[in-house]
Amino acid sequence: MNFSKQIISLFTIIVLSFVGHSENGHDAWLRPKKAKTVNVITSKQSPTISIAKNELIQSWQGTEGATVTLRIKRNKSLKSDGFKISENSIQANTDLGLLYGVYELLRRQQTGVSIKEEIINPSYDRRILNHWDNPNGSIERGYAGKSIFWHYGKDSLAVTDGDIKLWKEYARINASIGINGAVLNNVNASPMMLTAGYLEKVKAITEVLRPYGVKTYISIKFSSPSLIGGLKTSDPLDTEVITWWNNKIKEIYKLIPDFGGFLVKASSEGQPGPQDYGRTHADGANMLADAFKPYGGIVMWRAFVYSSNDVDRAKQAYTEFVPLDGQFRDNVIIQVKNGPVDFQPREPFSSLFGALKKTIIMPELQITQEYLGHSTHLAYLGTMWKEFLESDTYQKGPGSTVAKSTDGSLYNQKISAIAGVSNIGLDTNWTGHTFAQSNWYAFGRLAWNHELTNDQITEEWITLTFSPFDVENSQVKIDFSKQDWSNHFLKPVKHMMLDSREAVVDYMMPLGLHHIFSANEHYGPGPWYAPARVRKDWTPPYYHKADSLGIGFDRTETGSNAVSQYEEPLRSEFNNIETCPENLLLWFHHVSWDYKMKNGKTLWDNLCYHYDAGLQKVREFQKIWDKTKPYVDSERFYEVQSKLRDQSRNAQVWKDGCLLYFQEFSKMPIPYDIERPIHDLEDLKISTMKRPLNYK
């Protein structure tokens, strides 16, 4: 985002305070409601309980004049954030439990879900957004403008009234879906984050987020002792280095007594780490964990590691971390991406899930759509995350799902946690695409309750985000019933959302293909990109292996043997081409072009039909959305309509580029019952090397 657009975004946010709430998406799913009167009785007072009380007063949709009781009362069945809810009372062990209960009560009123007396506890203790925000205001893999925390660049340590207002809105939105933590800066961290001025800014942010229960964390550069501390080394076993970190963490807790801890990317992608000094990941993580122990802080140590000389990048995290199982302190959490490569549109789950039995492990999901069309493509990711969380690791027999292996129910662990890489920026609607908000929402809801269905989550989000009924200043002229709105907006839009991720997989990388993006921005297709100067595992041919015989990465026992990292029966299932799930076929097998698949068609024909199906689905999304015009405000209608047009053009580029390129190896015709390519391959190669075609 350029500077002038940034100023416009800030100005728009400020103007909202004075001219009412236009439907520009800034309110997300917390749009102002026409509230009924309610009498709220509280057993104590605190900033958090005041927020809970005000939320009820501003948004109550229950019985006119009802009395609601908010009560702190110890209940052994409740976790610290849990609550007991009924139509007219919320009971919790903590102030935050009451706040979460209020949001649950209001959500059910607004979506028409029945309210009965029940106890509700979160699936994970720590539910964290990872912001990849840099001190200069940019966001790595961010597509919604500059950072909401550091957007001033050189003057990013300043704090304005506008900042405080924006952070409060951000905290409120997070609290409404149970998110209780935020890492404020990029995992590729600047050592400056640990200097006095930046820590003071972290303190200021914390004070705004605290009443909403959002704890702050920061990412750190492992070599900070030598970079900003004046030491000759950053060896984690060096006594001077240990003392430096102890003093630095003590300094942080003097400023921020409830500071959450560090997120660490070390010995990865050129980032310094303990391996630079001949030490292990456990040596580095434990040194920091010991310094945090007196204060209750945690260390989240990322397992995203790979080197250029490994025969299969997908194997390395398992190879490095499994031998260290049981060696980490109980306030160290190993943070693992959902798949073994890198947030691809579809991957098998990382083999580390379940394999680490004596070490706390947390999933890392990516909300921002680095590999799924940025903020241009509509791609609801709840379906991806449910597929991941429900995957069976078989580590303790059938039913040992990824969710159970990380939420504390399968293994005895002190803390449970889950993280999502944020898609939030300074754009007025926070995420750059109205529908990208659904992924922020879905992450929070699944982090709170991973047993929720995608039907539930999408219906909630659509109703809260778009329903024109009982909304103050609604821009929609309501000359239709709620049933009409449900039939002509809610149901078709839900169908579109639930199909959207699979559509992206189809027109980008079907049947287990992965990481075949262009050289720039992880956006357009680039299966041909392979300059000699670039390390092989940063080029698409490393992953697709297309040749005259076939296509796909052989990870079977006779290939890289990545299948050996999975428990039986998965190991044998993935290893056998006849039993391997077809949506992961090319992930685990190099398959001949004429291989007959379950539908009787060749692999090549199936590849062609998938690419075409993805394109046709997006075109269908355009039709679905165009029909919703009478039921949604014009501002968001036209924004989404324009995005879908771009997505349709981009899907055409993906289909044409990939099929024309792979056809050079298959030497087989594109089936005649699907549309012909409309681009020339050489033109696509040139355009995607410069900038993704049709990218906005």
| Active site amino acids | 269, 342, 370
DSSP, collapsed to helix, strand or coil, labels residue 422 as: coil
Q: Measured between alpha carbons, how far is residue 518 from residues 610, 650, 653 in Å?
A: 20, 13, 12
Structure tokens at 338: 């959902």
For residue 32, what are the CA distances in angstroms to 432, 467, 486? 21, 12, 21
DSSP-derived letter for residue 414 is S
Outline where DSSP puts E strands in 314-359: 332-337
**Helix 239-255 with 196-209: angle, nearest 10 deg:** 40
Q: Is 509:345 a contact under the CB 8 Å cutoff?
A: yes
CB neighbour class for 117 (10 Å; exposed up to 12, middle 13-18, buried from 19): exposed
User: What tokens does 495 get?
Assistant: 């169908």
- Round to whole Å and give the CA distance between 183 and 128: 7
Could you give the 3-state DSSP secondary structure of residue 224? helix
Rg (CA), the chain: 25
Number of C-beta neighbours around residue 689 at 10 A: 16
**For 54-141, where are the E strands, in sequence order?**
66-72, 83-85, 89-92, 118-120, 126-130
Tell me the DSSP string of 573-632: HHHSTTTS-GGGHHHH--EETT-B-TTSSBHHHHHHHHHHHHHHHHHHHHHHHHTTGGGS
Token reading at 554: 């052989």
Cα–Cα distance between 278 and 267 in angstroms, integer? Answer: 11
For residues 526 and 515, is the Cβ–Cβ distance under 8 A?
no
Amino acid, res. 276: D
d(CA 201, CA 223): 22
CA gap 128, 419 in Å, rounded? 5
**How far is 34 from 163, CA to CA, in rounded Å?**
28
What is the C-alpha to C-alpha distance for residues 256 and 203, in angstroms, rounded to an integer? 6
For the chain, the maximum distance between any two Cα atoms, rounded to a whole number of angstroms, is 75
Which residues, in sequence order, are CB contacts of 591 under 8 Å at separation 6+?
550, 551, 552, 577, 585, 603
Q: How many CB atoms lie within 10 A of CB 3?
A: 10
H helical segments located in 340-481: 382-389, 402-406, 437-448, 454-466
CA distance 283 to 245: 14
Contact 475, 23 (CB under 8 A): yes
Question: Quick check: 682 and 519 in contact, CB under 8 A?
Answer: no
Q: Backbone phi, then psi, for 420, in 5-degree steps?
A: -130, 130
